[in-house]
Amino acid sequence: MSRRVCLAALMAGSLFLGATGRGEDKARPGPIPVLIITGENNHDWKATTPVLKAALEECGRFKVDVLEDLWDGLSASRLAPYQALVFNFYSTSNRRWSEEQATAFLDAFRAQGKGGVVIHAADNAFPDWADYDQLIGGAWRAGAGHGSFHAFQVDLIDRGHPITSGLPRFFLQAPDELYHGLRMQPGVRILAAAFSDRAGTGGTDHYEPMAWTHRYGKARIFHTPLGHAPSSMESAGFKTLLQRGAEWAATGQVTVPSLLPEWQPFFNGKDLSEFKGDAKLWRVEDGAIIGDSPGIRHNAFLVSNRRYDDFILELKVRLRPDSANSGVQFRSEPLENGEMYGYQADIGEGWWGSLYDESTGRNLLVNSYKEKGSKAVKREDWNDYRVEAIGRRVRVFINGALTSEFEDTENRPDGHIALQIHAGGVTQVEFKDIRIQEK
């Protein structure tokens, strides 16, 4: 099953219903009182709780207290002053609250309508308590797991919710545990997902939910399984979801601004886990992607795992020798013979700045090297390259100069981005400072 189909299946399985309006509740004046419930966890709650508290308070929207006496400290009166409760606990001792405490906890949500914010291992808690599973919307139960601790991309697949409205289409999460196989409740609204790579990290080769919302009685619940370690919680993406998710859970509104920039790095800067390609030809060095060819008979590509539709891509590229050839594929599909089918922004003598259509039979769509590309390029030096693909319009820039502009009659709405080493002699092509802005 392709990643595109996996993501479509995940979205189809999510119920896109529930409260979404910014004015659902009248916001209380002043900071929102929030209580973090912790004190026992199979993760380092003593290290993560201060990070959660600081992340909530730094945006100026919350006043945060902490309950560390998980068992004897929880009561209806202790929960009463707060508008939202944050779960950062897991019952490693297998203790349970008394019936009176459990009723007070559940009634805080289903009857009183307090907001709930569920963080990471809190979805492991109380494995035999059906009401808790219904409350949190998705739980770690039999069959759940995670692969290796690693950085990964989180795709915001529903940007129509107040929490995710106006955010970029994705962000790179700091090294974290990517949970898979969670038992999801009917009616959840999945906001974000991440691809769990089997070969690279021991995952499932499926998109797994990374943030969702749902209703429990009168309550709004926001849940993210992100946040294994303090360093994971320092991610701008995690903090943005936490702050905006907590405000929505408490009030139904979102006024907290995003911490995420419009531009996102195209890859993690450390390895090629987000791509498919020949490891003998491609490597990462000092944050740059380098393609080294000893002389190959067939074109080679480093292909993005995920697909992109409308975007602006910026990077620096250096080709040595300039008489060699390379390019940036986009809205492209990998073929069984190793070639790519789709647009290519060309790189190399005779080609710089031109727009080619690889393997389609249309070949050169815009031949601009002589007139524009040759004048803009700095041979065997770093060049600023910019590719815009918005709707059916494609534009290519080199060092600020527009070299190709094309309005296509064909509808090619999305596809992979790939870097090319062309067949031929010894070649080195380097790509660095790669960033993308999705539209």
**Neighbour-count burial of 160, counting CB atoms closer than 10 A to its CB (0-12 exposed, 13-18 middle, 19+ buried):** exposed
Q: What is the DSSP string of 237-282?
A: HHHHHHHHHHHHHHHS---PPP-S-S-EESS-SS--TTEES-TTTE
Structure token pair of residue 121: 């291992």
pTM > 0.95: no
pLDDT in tens, 99-138: 999 999 999 999 999 999 999 999 999 999 999 999 999 9
Look up residue 309 and give its DSSP letter: S
> Distances from the Cα of 108 to the Cαs of 49, 200, 322, in angstroms?
21, 42, 67
pLDDT score recorded for residue 18: 42
pLDDT in tens, 131-169: 999 999 999 999 999 999 999 999 999 999 999 998 988
Strand partners, 10: none
Residue tagged 């990998």 (tokens)? 334
Q: In this model, does residue 343 exceed pLDDT 70?
A: yes
> What is the rounded distance in angstroms from the CA atom of residue 156 to the CA atom of residue 159?
6
> What is the rounded distance in angstroms from the CA atom of residue 234 to the CA atom of residue 237?
8
Q: What is the C-alpha radius of gyration for the chain, rounded to an integer number of angstroms?
A: 25
pLDDT in tens, 261-300: 889 899 999 999 999 999 999 999 999 999 999 999 999 9
CATH 2.60.120.560 fits domain 265-438: yes
Q: Please state which CATH number belongs to domain 3-261.
A: 3.40.50.880
For the chain, percent of residues with pLDDT exceeding 90 = 89
Q: Are 65 and 56 in contact (CB under 8 A)?
A: no
Domain residue ranges in the chain:
3-261, 265-438
Q: What is the DSSP string of 115-155?
A: EEEEEGGGGGS-TT-HHHHHHHSEE--TT-EE--SEEEEEE
